[in-house]
Chains A and B, each alone.
Chain A
Amino acid sequence: MVWGVLQFPGSCDERDALRACSLLGEARLVWHEERDLGGIDAVVVPGGFSYGDYLRAGAIARFSPAMEAVAEFAAAGGSVLGICNGFQVLCEAGLLPGALLLNETRRFTCRQLELLTPRGGLSIPGKHGEGRYYAPEELLDELEARGQVAYRYAPGENPNGSARDIAGVRNEAGNVLGLMPHPEHAVDPLTGSTDGLKVFEDLAR
C-alpha cells in the first residue's frame, strides 16, 4: 500500500504521519502545489496550521491544487484520512459532514485522550484549539443512524464540547475518515501507546 501525506505551508505533523504510514507500507510527501496522486492508494491530510489557519481553520487549504486532486481521488473511492487540521480541511472541503469550532473552554487542549470505537477503546493524544465538532441536530441523527460516527470521546473525556462526544466521522461512502486526536503520534511503544495504528487500519477497512 502506498500512502501519500499532504504537506501545506504551516503543516506540522506530516513527518509523524509519514513515519506512521511507513510502518504500514510505502509513504511519500505530497507538496500542496502537486496535483499528481498517481500510484497513491491512500492519502493523509495531516495536522498543523495550514496557510496559518487564516479566516477559519482549513478554509484556505481546501483550495490548494493538492486538495483539488484529493477531492477527485475521494470521489473515485480513494481512501482519505484527515487528522486534526486535516479533519478541519476535509470538513471545509465538504468531503466530510459538519464543522470544527473553537473549543468550548477556549483552552488549547493537549493530552492523552480515551476514545470509543465500535471495535473497542483507543488511547491517543489530542492537541487542538478548534476541535468542537458541530453539525445541526438532524444531521447528527442521520450520521448516527448511518453509522458515520467513527470515534467518540469516552465518558468524561470530551475536551472541547463536541456534539454527542464525536471525535471523528466518516463520509457516507466510508472512504473518507477524519478525527481531531492524533493517531500518528501513537504508533510506537516508546510514546506509550500504539493504538494510533488501528486508526490507519480503520481507513483500509
Chain B
Amino acid sequence: MVRARVLIRPKEGILDPQGKAVERALPALGFEGVGHVRVGRMVELEAEDPARLGELCEKLLANPLIEDYEIERLDGGA
C-alpha cells in the first residue's frame, strides 16, 4: 500500500470566489498583506498501484478543464 496526498486547486486564471471571500475577510481580522488566496481540496488515500494515481485524478478527483492537481507520495516514493 502506498499512501499519497492529492492537492487539487482551481486553474490559474479561473476566478475562485472562495479564495476571494477568504482574502477579503483577512484584513478585518487584522491580517494585512495577504493576497492571491486560492482554495482547493486535499484528498488523502492509500493505493495498491500508485502508477494508476494519475489516471484516477484525471477521471475523478480533479476536472482537468478547470483544476490542476499534484500527487504527493507520503512514503518517500516518487
Chain A: CB-nearest residue to B43: A55
Whether the Cβ atoms of B17 and A99 lie closer than 8 Å is no
Whether the Cβ atoms of B15 and A161 lie closer than 8 Å is yes
Interface flag for A105 (CB, 8 Å) = yes
Question: What's the dominant secondary structure at chain A's contact region?
Answer: loop
The contact string, 1 if C-beta is below 8 Å from chain A, for chain B 41-70, is 100000000000000000011010110000
Whether the Cβ atoms of B63 and A92 lie closer than 8 Å is yes
Report B-chain residues with C-beta under 8 Å of the C-beta of A63: 60
Whether the Cβ atoms of A102 and B65 lie closer than 8 Å is no
29 contacts between A and B (CB under 8 A): A55-B41, A55-B60, A56-B63, A59-B60, A59-B63, A63-B60, A92-B63, A98-B65, A99-B65, A99-B66, A101-B10, A101-B14, A101-B15, A101-B66, A102-B17, A102-B18, A103-B17, A104-B17, A105-B17, A106-B17, A106-B18, A106-B20, A106-B21, A134-B14, A134-B65, A134-B66, A135-B65, A136-B65, A161-B15
B residues with CB within 8 A of A: 10, 14-15, 17-18, 20-21, 41, 60-61, 63, 65-66
